[in-house]
Amino acid sequence: MSRREADSGPSKITGEPINGALPKDSPVFAEPWQAEAFAMVVALNERGMFSWSEWADALSAEVKSSNAAPDGSDYYDCWLRALENLLAAKGVAGGNEIDALAAAWHRAAHATPHGKPILLENDPEWDSRS
Amino acid sequence: MRASAARPRFRRMPHDHDHYHDNELDPMAARAKALETILTQKGLIDPAAIDAIVETYETKIGPRNGAKVVAKAWSDPAYAERLKKDATAAIASLGFTGRQGEHMQAVFNIADTHNLLVCTLCSCYPWSVLGLPPVWYKSPPYRSKAVIDPRGVLAEFGVSLPAETKIRVWDSTAELRYLVVPMRPNGTEGWSEERLAELVTRDSMIGTGLALEPQAA
């Protein structure tokens, strides 16, 4: 058994040249929201909101849907959508509620000075809702 | 580190106003914030616990855990036997336990059989011993090709096995996850577990690689 010598073209799986080098490790999460989405699922599973099998089914449905990117680059997009679907199915949070709050976070970000932490209270429409 | 403190994508407006239009959250980031807000308000998650989970997976759990398991199995036949019979308990005895109550099974590479892990369903992976999966493990090309053409997959990782070596593909599930125990390289007789663990790569425990040769470590 040996590692193979130089070969032609990059691997479709690893994206690395097929030259026997180990695939480079990328960071676990590409963006902070991915880490947040990941951790929310772990936390909700631990408190018993859903079993890990339920979660695997929900994630699998998103990963296999026709909306998913063929190269898997949107894995955490699928992850977040699967979480939204599960929360809707459990009656915890509906799509409209999430849409409204996401819009509020957008407005809050927009209204926050560069370099300052983005707080939901910075949403100009915040007072009217709370 | 507080990963959930939004790290916005800054977008400079082409002209300066005296009011602020500097920050934009990307759509997925805004949705994640929205979910976190709702779940926190409902008392279903604790932001501090979310941060702790992120930190654990970013810094504390990774393939070094699995490497310790493999190195111990290489140097301690009684441990290897326990690992074969009840991997969940043998791995837990080193302090590595799964958060989702999943069971573990160790699959041992031997001279005529090589083992390869995949999750065709989504991305089930032995987190407790390997951390979070690499990007390629979650990709559709790997998930489909590992089953259809495992030898071709190995070639893409630079691994070629003798034609007579059988390749067994193990499809992980939410309840049962696998760990490949690669073959111990020759020329490592008398090595300590710590030194042996250095030879155990993440990919060798997925089956897309082999343990490093002593001179390569």
pLDDT tens digits, B2-52: 444 443 333 434 444 444 455 778 889 999 999 999 999 999 999 999 999
Residue B201 counted as domain residue: yes
Is the same domain home to B182 and B202? yes
- Checking if the pLDDT of B100 tops 60, the result is yes
Is the same domain home to B168 and B76? yes
Residue B132 counted as domain residue: yes
What interface predicted TM-score (ipTM) does this complex get? 0.78
- Checking if the pLDDT of B129 tops 80, the result is yes
CA–CA dist B93, B87 (Å, integer): 10
Which residues fall within 8 angstroms of residue A127, CB to CB, at 6 or more apart? none
Is the same domain home to B47 and B119? no
- Total domains in chain B come to 2
DSSP 8-state symbol, B100? T
Residue B152 counted as domain residue: yes
Cβ separation B157–A103 shorter than 8 A: no
Is the same domain home to B32 and B78? no
Which of B75, A99, B199 has its CA nearest to residue A107?
A99
Q: Is B97 on the interface with A (CB under 8 A)?
A: no
Residue B6 counted as domain residue: no
Is the same domain home to B35 and B102? no
DSSP string of chain A, one letter each residue: -EE----SSB-TTT-SBSSSPPPPPPPS-SSHHHHHHHHHHHHHHHTTSS-HHHHHHHHHHHHTSTTS-TTSTTHHHHHHHHHHHHHHHTTS--HHHHHHHHHHHHHHHHTSPTTSPP-GGGSTTHHHH-
Nearest CA in chain A to B38: A93
Domain boundaries, chain A: 28-93, 95-130
Is the same domain home to B74 and B173? yes
Q: What is the pTM of this model?
A: 0.76
- Checking if the pLDDT of B156 tops 80, the result is yes
Q: Is B124 on the interface with A (CB under 8 A)?
A: yes
* Residues of chain A falling short of pLDDT 50: 1-8, 18-23, 129-130
B7 or B206, higher pLDDT: B206
What's the domain range around B104?
Answer: 62-216
Is the same domain home to B150 and B202? yes
Residue B3 counted as domain residue: no
Interface test with B, best of A22, A50, A62, A121 (most B CBs within 10 A): A22
Residue B11 counted as domain residue: no
Is the same domain home to B31 and B77? no
Tell me whether residue B124 is one of the annotated catalytic residues. Answer: yes
In this structure, which long-range contacts are made by residues B36-41, counting pairs with CB atoms below 8 Å and at least 24 apart in sequence? B36/A36, B36/A40, B36/B4, B37/A101, B37/A105, B37/A120, B38/A92, B38/A93, B38/A97, B38/A98, B38/A101, B39/A40, B39/A44, B39/A87, B39/A92, B39/A93
Contacts of B34 in chain A (CB under 8 A): 98-102, 104-105
**N- to C-terminal Cα separation, chain A:** 66
Which of B31, B54, B16 has its CA nearest to residue A40?
B54
pLDDT at res. B16 = 42
Catalytic residue among B119, B128, B172, B204: B119
CA–CA dist A126, B47 (Å, integer): 21
Is the same domain home to B36 and B96? no
Q: Let me know if B67 is exposed, middle or buried by CB neighbors in 10 A (0-12, 13-18, 19+).
A: buried
pLDDT at res. A81 = 95
Is the same domain home to B129 and B210? yes
Beta-bridged to residue B9, according to DSSP, are B24
Tokens encoding B48:
């501090």
Q: What is the average pLDDT value for chain B, to the nearest integer? A: 87
Contacts of B10 in chain A (CB under 8 A): 114
Cβ separation B132–A93 shorter than 8 A: no
Cβ separation A103–B160 shorter than 8 A: no
Is the same domain home to B211 and B166? yes
Which residues fall within 8 angstroms of residue A36, CB to CB, at 6 or more apart? B3, B4, B32, B33, B36, B50, B54
Cβ separation A109–B138 shorter than 8 A: no
Tell me whether residue B123 is one of the annotated catalytic residues. Answer: yes
CA distance A86 to chain B (A): 12
Which residues fall within 8 angstroms of residue A103, CB to CB, at 6 or more apart? B30
Contacts of B102 in chain A (CB under 8 A): 52
pLDDT tens digits, A39-51: 999 999 999 999 9
φ, ψ for residue B64, nearest 5 deg? -65, -30
Is the same domain home to B151 and B84? yes
Q: Which stretch of DSSP H or E encloses residue B67?
A: helix B63-75
Residue B86 counted as domain residue: yes
Tell me whether residue B139 is one of the annotated catalytic residues. Answer: no
Report the SS3 class of residue B160.
strand
